[in-house]
Amino acid sequence: MLFSLRLGDVLEHMFRYKVLERKLIDALPLVEKRRLEEMLIQAIDRGCISLTDDRYVLLDPLEMVILLINMGFLDIERLVNFIEWHEFENYIARVLQFAGFDVYSNYQHRGLVRFQIDVLGLDSIRKLGLVIECKHWRSIRRYSTKLAEAVKDHIRRVERLVKFCEWVVINIPALRRIKTLIPVVVVLKSDAQKVIDNVPIVSITELRDFILNIEKYVDELELKTYSNRCYVE
Q: Mind listing the pLDDT tens digit for each residue in 19-33?
A: 999 988 988 989 989
**Are residues 123 and 200 part of one domain?**
yes
Point out the least confidently predicted range of 40-44, 74-78, 173-177. 74-78
Q: How many domains is the chain built from? A: 2
Q: Predicted confidence band at 193 (pLDDT cuts at 50, 70, 90)? A: low
N residues, the chain: 233
User: Among the three residues 46, 80, 114, which one is the final residue of a domain in this structure?
Assistant: 80
**Are residues 162 and 99 part of one domain?**
yes
Question: What's the confidence (pLDDT) of residue 79?
Answer: 80
Q: What mean pLDDT is predicted for residues 85-93? A: 89
Q: What mean pLDDT is predicted for residues 86-99? A: 91
**Are residues 91 and 201 part of one domain?**
yes
Question: What's the confidence (pLDDT) of residue 1?
Answer: 40
- Beta-carbon contacts of 165 under 8 Å, excluding residues fewer than 6 positions away, are 175, 228, 229, 230
**Are residues 203 and 89 part of one domain?**
yes
Point out the least confidently predicted range of 5-14, 123-132, 141-150. 141-150
**Are residues 218 and 109 part of one domain?**
yes
**Are residues 35 and 139 part of one domain?**
no
Q: How far apart are CA 96 and CA 162, in angstroms?
A: 21
Q: Give the residue with greater pLDDT, 194 vs 59.
A: 59
Q: What mean pLDDT is predicted for residues 168-175? A: 95
**Phi, psi at residue 33, to the nearest 5°?**
-60, -45
Secondary structure in 3-state letters for the chain: CCCCHHHHHHHHHHHHHCEEEHHHHHCCCHHHHHHHHHHHHHHHHHCCEEEECCEEEECCHHHHHHHHHHCCCCCCHHHHCCCCHHHHHHHHHHHHHHCCCEEEEEEEEECCCEEEEEEEEEECCCCEEEEEEEECCCCCCCHHHHHHHHHHHHHHHHHHHHHCHHHHHHHCHHHHHCCEEEEEEEECCCCCCCEECCEEEEECCCHHHHHHCHHHHHHHHCCCCEECCCCCC
Amino acid residing at 75: D
Residue 233 lies in a domain: no
- Average pLDDT of the chain is 89
Q: What mean pLDDT is predicted for residues 15-21? A: 93
Q: Predicted confidence band at 179 (pLDDT cuts at 50, 70, 90)? A: very high
pTM, 2 dp:
0.82
Q: Predicted confidence band at 3 (pLDDT cuts at 50, 70, 90)? A: very low
The pLDDT tens digits of the residues spanning 53-81 come to: 889 999 999 889 888 888 887 667 778 77
**Are residues 117 and 194 part of one domain?**
yes
**Are residues 90 and 55 part of one domain?**
no
Q: Tell me: pLDDT of 160 over 80.
A: yes
Amino acid residing at 3: F
Q: What mean pLDDT is predicted for residues 116-145? A: 86
CB atoms within 10 A of CB 45: 10
**Are residues 152 and 58 part of one domain?**
no
Range of the domain at 69: 5-80
Q: Predicted confidence band at 132 (pLDDT cuts at 50, 70, 90)? A: very high
Question: What's the confidence (pLDDT) of residue 13?
Answer: 92
Taking the CA atoms of residue 100, residue 106, residue 88 and residue 61 in that order, the dihedral angle to the nearest 10 degrees is 100
